[in-house]
A and B are shown apart, each in its own frame.
Chain A
Amino acid sequence: MSWALPAVDALAARLLEDRLVDAVLGWARDPDLPWQRYPHRVDEPSRVGELVWDPFCAPGLAKLVFRMTEGGLKLGVLARGCDALGVWRLIHDRRIARENVYLLGLPCPGMADGVRVWEECPEAFDAAGWEDHGSHWVAVPTGIRLPKERFLLDKCLQCQVRWPRQCDEVLAVQGGSWNPFCEDRYRQVRQLEELPLPQRFDFWRGWFERCLRCFACRQVCPACNCESCSLDQFEPNWLEREVGVATQFIFHFTRALHVAGRCVDCGECQRACPVGFPLGALNRKMMKDMEDLFGVREPFVPQESEPLGEFALDDPDEFR
């Protein structure tokens, strides 16, 4: 089982050569920051070598697919499970035309926190390639072993889609649909639910005080794709510009409720947050409600119809 970069490159090149797509979106190395991979688009088969596929490809791609396909560009996407679900969120929201994307699914054994690896083991970045050994990433040919327990990205801890779903094609190299790090997706939610109200309030207030309201969480979120975000509007002025505990409440609850039943749990919001706000806990609380109150089995998988966006005559209506 290896991070089969040559196979990925070959597929990307084939898509471009066969003119199935106009461009392929994936990741590339940052020339200055060895731990950093940034989203990168190649338009020519000759340039697929610029793409990289290794344990440091952290950024999500779905939101970029939206912007890039707006003008009608037909885009191949190197899609991990989370990217594919994000793209499907945008397809169901009618923001991406299905025929404009070709989802090239990459089974993903989890991504590493590049900064931490750089701090603790910079020589790992000398590797020519990587292999996945379940509990470790192993650098080739140096043989450096990175334990996932230490380096796995937060957003990958509770991943349910290591094997990408709903793709046009899946690169059948490395298996591992099972995520050994996720025992209970709702563990943190349950812990918070059990806290007495004052402590729970203090927990959130602490984070509201730290939030800079930079909107990074919204900008990366594939479910936050409105033409005009209500939080940016002045008339009516839903969100005061003043940053205080009350307005932070409004901001975060509006965000959480606008993605309730639509969040794909890609974890990009929390990864992008400069202060480490546990946005995933808010989102998963909503997901847990979708399961408990509406019987949605996999609330993170985008559906044509969503529990909070449907008029149904047989709605049980038990909130009366």
Chain B
Amino acid sequence: MSEARVAVRKTYKLFIGGKFPRSESGRSYIAQDANVALASRKDVRDAVVAARAAVKGWSGATAYNRGQILYRVAEMLEGRRDQFVGLGLSAGEVDEAIDRWVWYAGWSDKITQVYGGANPVAGPYFNLSAPEPTGVVGLAAPPSFLGLVSVIAPAIVTGNTAIVLAAKDAPLAAVTLAEVLATSDLPGGVVNILTGDPAETAPWLAAHMDVNAIDLTAVTDPALATSLEEAAAGNLKRVLRPPLTAPDWSADPGLTRMTAYLETKTVWHPKGI
């Protein structure tokens, strides 16, 4: 006798500080036929605290170590490939996303040489410029899975930590990605993912004084994008504005998404005997 097995359903929760809490507000909403946590202002603030706490360790890790951890994420993604396809994503997109993650993983120990360098100053001084992570980055994520991966990986590969606002109507892949990240040696707090309505949570993130940069690429409402950019001016966040035309996530990403969250530090020292 064969009776259909009753499936164990998943509760889709937030991802903050390496843990999977429900929204402190107790709210949820229905998206993609599932109950999903509806993040609140307090969740945003908790995520910023977790992201800030993770900055020291993650930015202080060696580039080799960060590269290995990001590569490990790609391994875990590959292992869960079918799970993402099961969410309705095309196999091609999932493959692209995994390859994109591998591409960024390799940048961890190369971006410093490509974007920094020695400066030939007119005097007896050693002078070196090197990029450093800006700190905590807020990301409004695009709805596509390839887009989601393409905004998170470049932010964290250089040593930043991130708060990701998953697209309102496509949160399941983001939560599943959180489960990948949680099992990939990525320290808790390096990536924090909030599901819910970015139109509600993004203003708190944009105005938060302990966030260093914000990515508005996926904000399609121009009025909202403008108000977020205005709020970001409160502590002079680095802002990645929405592009004029919808981004093509399958195109060569270039360095922009990494350099947008990098600071250049220049160190001088006299030469002498």
A and B form one complex: no
Binding site for B on A (CB under 8 A): none
Binding site for A on B (CB under 8 A): none
